[in-house]
A = this chain, B = another copy of it.
Amino acid sequence: MSEKTLGITAKKSEDFSEWYTQIVQKSDLADYTDVSGCIVFKPLAYAIWEKIVSEVDKRFKKSGIKNAYFPLLIPEKLLSKEKEHVKGFSPEVAWVTYAGNTQLDERLAIRPTSETIMYASFSKWIKSWRDLPLRINQWNNVVRWEFKHPVPFLRTREFLWNEGHTVFATKKEAEAERDEIMGIYQDVTENYMALHGLLGKKSEKEKFAGAEYTITLEYLLSNGKAIQGPDFHHDGQNFAKAFNITFLDKKEEKQHAWQNTFAITTRMIGIMIAIHSDDKGLVLPPKIAPNQIIIIPIFTKENKEKIIKKANEIKTKLKRFDPILDDREEYSAGFKFNESELKGYPIRIELGPKDLEKKQVILVRRDTNHKEPIKITSLTKTVPKVLEEIQTSLLKKATELIESNIKKAKDFQELKQHIKDQKIVLAPFCNEAKCEEMIKYKTGGAKTLNSPLNQKTNAKCISCNKPTKELFYFGKSY
């Protein structure tokens, strides 16, 4: 890439879409392919995903969830077993109809999600209360052929995710899993990705196809659009009845089981990029960055050897932060500075001949651009402190971004105005699908995001005036 085309030419505050498109490509996160809506996760993005997977997976395993792998392809008959579920997914299913030159007797769906193929197995595996709980997870790829405009990470036709599928003997046990799972997702998204989401229950209209209720974390992008993150669905006995998942309880009586499903997807990478990054490029929270430090030596032919030697010493000293030493000769230091900002290394360490004399480096924070000379001897003490400051500061900023954009509405006119101003609005709502459609129509597109869990009201629906006990967040969705 030439120095001219390196930088991002759009401003985040002026043209979010163009800025986002450029950052994804120029920071080497993703690339488009010949299949519309399917992207390449380039090494930087995939390494971020590996970090997310590793942190979530560790916590799942500790909680007793076991990983498995079910087939990619689902026979049409199976996919159709739960009515609401098939209605929700079939418009987006990619269908396999041929193998080689042979037409298949039955079409096979590429999994848009794996309930139907997993539960066919679960119903064979579960016979007795001894077989419960069954808590299975898989990390895989799914395809949903959405016809809306695809956007890398945020809306792709193929994406990567975890799908947890758990089965319990009682509703109480099933529901007790909710806080544990959402706690894991919150822990990783807040403390690693530095993102603050709104936790709550989806409306009847927006819940998962086949679920009794859906819990989500919702985020706000800087273009005023809300977007859904990880989710947890309590399925009640819906699927257990459709797939005949039953067990003999301790009294030898046959019961239908209770189920949950939950997921975090590669969309989170897009949300994280969009929230933290700036006009210079990617900003990555240290705890999710594949490399926390880049060391850029500034050298000429004459002093190269001396400076590279010291740079290597520093690299070894800071080994536990996976530093990269950019000692390429074919690029200028200026080019490397710009590139390091584009690619979001949390800390840049510059080392030139004058620094060498003074036994120091220049330490540059990616998030604030703050530069400071640091004695080489105190680097191992300073670096972890600065990394922690960056991590804390990014979460604080992300929290402020969403919280300062939440408004309460007293009446429908206020709701409409706040929506127009690209705010998230908290308002009482009757939770009826028809009423939600009306609100969407009258506000030019606002939907419910979710309903905060422990916040109850005794008010009237902001739209239809029916008494309600529920407050909902509203916003325009990405």
Contact = CB atoms under 8 A, between A and B. Distances in A.
Interface in A42-87: 42-43, 46-47, 49-50, 66-75, 77-78
Nearest to A331: B130
A73 B330 contact: no
A33 B66 CA distance: 19
A78 B35 CA distance: 10
A145 interface: yes
Interface in A302-355: 328, 330
9 contacts: A33-B117, A40-B71, A41-B68, A43-B136, A72-B158, A94-B96, A94-B108, A95-B97, A96-B97
Interface string A345-381: 0000000000000000000000000000000000000
Contacts of A406: none
Interface string A20-44: 0000000000010111001111110
A91 B124 CA distance: 34
A47 B138 CA distance: 11
Nearest to A130: B330
Contacts of A143: 72-73
Interface in A86-128: 90-101, 107-108, 110, 117, 120-121, 124-125
Interface size class of chain A, counting residues whose CB lies under 8 Å from the partner chain: 35 or more
A392 interface: no
A141 interface: yes
A443 interface: no
A46 B67 contact: yes
Interface string A139-159: 011010101000000000010
A35 B78 CA distance: 10
A72 B141 contact: yes
A418 B280 CA distance: 69
A98 B94 contact: yes
Contacts of A409: none
Nearest to A134: B43
B67 A121 contact: no
A209 interface: no
A160 interface: yes
A34 B43 CA distance: 36
Contacts of A35: 71, 73-75, 108, 117
Contacts of A72: 38, 72, 110, 141, 143, 158
Contacts of A31: 121, 124-125
Contact of A158 (B38, B67, B71): B71
B121 A33 contact: yes
A69 B47 CA distance: 10
A244 B2 CA distance: 21
B93 A99 contact: yes
A141 to B, nearest CB: 6
A246 B99 CA distance: 34
A395 B78 CA distance: 43
Contact of A43 (B41, B66, B94, B145): B66
Nearest to A89: B100
A107 B101 CA distance: 12
Contacts of A130: 328, 330
Given A94-B99, A99-B94, A100-B91, A78 B43 contact: no
A70 B70 CA distance: 20
B95 A99 contact: yes
Contacts of A117: 33-35
Given A96-B94, A98-B94, A120-B33, A70 B145 contact: no
The 5 A-B residue pairs with the shortest CB-CB distance, nearest first, are A99-B145, A38-B71, A43-B66, A41-B69, A95-B98
Contacts of A140: 141
Contact of A93 (B46, B75, B100, B136): B100
A40 B130 CA distance: 21
Interface string A455-472: 000000000000000000
